[in-house]
Amino acid sequence: MNHITERATLRVIRLDHKRLASVTAAMLDFVRMLGEGGPAPDPIVLRAMLYYIREYPEQFHHPMEDRFLFAALRNRTDDFDDVLDELQCEHIEGDARLRNLEHALTRFELKGEAVLLGLSTLMEQYAHFCANHRRVEETVIIPAAERFLTEADWACIDTAVESRLDPFGEATFEGESLESLYRLIADAVPAVNEARQDA
């Protein structure tokens, strides 16, 4: 793919997906390590990842898709309304799943190994749910947008997305902005760091 000519909106969506996939994979590894009985990773790292993966999509990624890309596609064709409805429901469902994961992590911190299975099951289901969501966006919706959107549509949504590239606003975790939180996670987790290098 030629990254120089790639639409700004699609570049941002693909990069976000790569980052979110790497953080989700790192969360899964982290939960597996908890079950292996070796040196226990600090749960604060998992909390930071949960926070990032909840706040970033909530504040930026999902609104960018819902308001710009999905809205522009709905405007041009009805053919994908069912898929888009499902994806928009999943944006809300993902937040509920993360709340359950946070609760499961708290239970693990309080009760230990007896409740680890619950945490790892939820984590695996969440990783699968997210991977499927990204796959539908990348294999159905992005190709549809490339087919149906006009140059004027792209100019409009690319400008909107580019003007929102610093979306981190007020959200912080332990005093860090979401972007510096991502850098913190990347520094702590080698696999995430590799995704950052590709950015």
Choice between 121 and 132, CB closer to Fe ion? 132
Distance, CA of 53 to CA of 134 (rounded, Å): 14
Burial class (CB in 10 A: 0-12, 13-18, 19+), 19: buried
Choice between 9 and 105, CB closer to Fe ion? 9
Min. distance of Cβ 70 from Fe ion in angstroms?
8
Q: Give the DSSP H or E segment for 155.
A: helix 151-162
Site for Fe ion in 111-140 (CB under 5 A): 137
The residues, ordered by sequence, that sit 6+ positions from 189 with a Cβ below 8 Å of its Cβ are: 26, 29, 45, 49
Distance, CA of 41 to CA of 134 (rounded, Å): 28
Min. distance of Cβ 21 from Fe ion in angstroms?
10
Min. distance of Cβ 175 from Fe ion in angstroms?
28
Report how many residues bind Fe ion under the rule CB under 5 A. Answer: 2
Structure tokens at 197: 């290098």
Choice between 65 and 153, CB closer to Fe ion? 65
Min. distance of Cβ 94 from Fe ion in angstroms?
8
Min. distance of Cβ 56 from Fe ion in angstroms?
11
Choice between 36 and 82, CB closer to Fe ion? 82
The residues, ordered by sequence, that sit 6+ positions from 194 with a Cβ below 8 Å of its Cβ are: 22
Residue 30 near residue 193 (C-beta atoms within 8 A)? no
Choice between 50 and 104, CB closer to Fe ion? 50
Distance, CA of 19 to CA of 25 (rounded, Å): 10
Site for Fe ion in 134-193 (CB under 5 A): 137
Choice between 108 and 182, CB closer to Fe ion? 182
The secondary structure of the chain in percent helix, strand, coil, rounded to multiples of 5, reads: 80, 0, 15
Min. distance of Cβ 41 from Fe ion in angstroms?
27
Site for Fe ion in 22-81 (CB under 5 A): 65
Chain contacts with Fe ion (rule: CB under 5 A): 65, 137
